[in-house]
Chains A and B, each alone.
Chain A
Amino acid sequence: MKEVVIKTMDRPTTVSREAVRAAVLADFADELEEKKQKKRMAKKAKKV
C-alpha cells in the first residue's frame, strides 16, 4: 500500500523548524531507549 506523504507548510512561528526537528529527534531517541529498557526489564522479570 502507498504511504501517505506528510505535507509541510511555512507558517510564522515562535520557534524555528530546525529547533523543532532537533527536539523531536532527541525525543525519539528517548522513546526508543525507554522501549529498550522496558524490554530488558521484561526479560529480567521472566528469568526471575
Chain B
Amino acid sequence: MKTIDYEGSVFINCPFDDAYKPILRAIIFTVMRCGFIPRSALEKDNGLQNRLDKIQEVIAGCQYGIHDISRTTLNENGLPRFNMPFELGLFFGAQRYGNRQQQRKSAVIFDTERFRYQQFISDLNGVDIKEHQNKPDVAIHKVRNWLSTSSGRHSIPGYAKIIAEYRVFLKRMPSILKRLHLDEENLTFNNYCLILEERLVAARIVNKKWLNND
C-alpha cells in the first residue's frame, strides 16, 4: 500500500445521498483533475475500526477539506442530520490544536445558500461560506479556485476546461460501467475513484498520442 501524502490529500466531508450525487461526483472529479487525492471515511473497509476512528484518521491525513453543510435539514423525526457539521468541527479542532502540519489545514465550506448557516451554526459567523446552488458546474468552479489559491499550484487547469472534461467523462461513464458490469446507482466511492483515476491517467496519454497523429 502506498503512503498517502498529506499535502496532496483532500478530506471530502459531503453528503452521500442520491440527490447529492451529481455534486459529489463533480467535486471528486475536480479534486483529482487538480492533482489531489480525495479521501473519505468510506474508503476504509475495516469492520474492526469504528466510524469515528476512521473519520479522525482521514482528517489527520489531509491538509485540505471540502465540507458541505447543505444537508443540515430535518428528517422524518424532526431531527437534523449533524454528521457534516460535526466533522467540520473536528477539522477546525485539528487545525487549531494540532501540530505544525495540522495547523496548515485549509478548508472550503459549502451550503446551498450563503447565509443559511447563521440559523443553525452561528459560531461560523465571519467564516467564508460558499454557495453551490445545487449546481455541479458551480461546485467545480469554486473547488477548483479554492484548491488553486490555497495550494499555490499554478499547473491547475482553468475551471471551464475541467467542466468540459467532466461533461465528456459523464457521457463515457455508462459504457465504462457496462464493460465492468457495474451499475451507476450503486457505484461506491472507491470504485468511482478508481475509474476516475484510470480515465484521467489514460486521457493524458491518449490525447497526447492523438494530438501527435493529427
Contact = CB atoms under 8 A, between A and B. Distances in A.
B79 interface: no
B113 interface: no
Given A2-B155, A28-B202, A14 B191 contact: yes
Counting contact residues on chain A (CB < 8 A from B), the size range is 20 to 34
B1 to A, nearest CB: 5
Interface in B128-184: 153-157, 172, 175-176, 179-180, 182
B155 A27 contact: no
A7 interface: yes
A11 to B, nearest CB: 4
B4 A9 contact: yes
Counting contact residues on chain B (CB < 8 A from A), the size range is 35 or more
From A13, A22, A30, A31, name the one whose CB has the most chain B CB atoms within 10 angstroms: A13
From A7, A25, A31, A32, name the one whose CB has the most chain B CB atoms within 10 angstroms: A7
B45 A15 contact: no
A10 B195 CA distance: 12
Contact of A13 (B34, B175, B190, B206): B190
Contacts of B5: 7
A45 interface: no
A1 interface: yes
A20 interface: yes
A20 B155 contact: no
A26 interface: yes
B204 A3 contact: yes
Given A2-B155, A27-B172, A27-B175, A19 B180 contact: yes
Contact of A11 (B35, B175, B182, B194): B194
A25 B201 CA distance: 10
B178 to A, nearest CB: 9
Contacts of B1: 10
A21 B204 contact: no
A45 to B, nearest CB: 21
Interface in A13-43: 13-15, 17, 19-28, 30-32
- 8 shortest interchain CB distances as A-B pairs: A23-B179, A4-B35, A12-B45, A11-B190, A2-B155, A6-B200, A24-B198, A8-B197
Interface of A: 1-15, 17, 19-28, 30-32
Given A8-B197, A23-B179, 8 more contacts: A4-B153, A5-B35, A9-B197, A13-B190, A15-B191, A20-B194, A26-B179, A27-B176
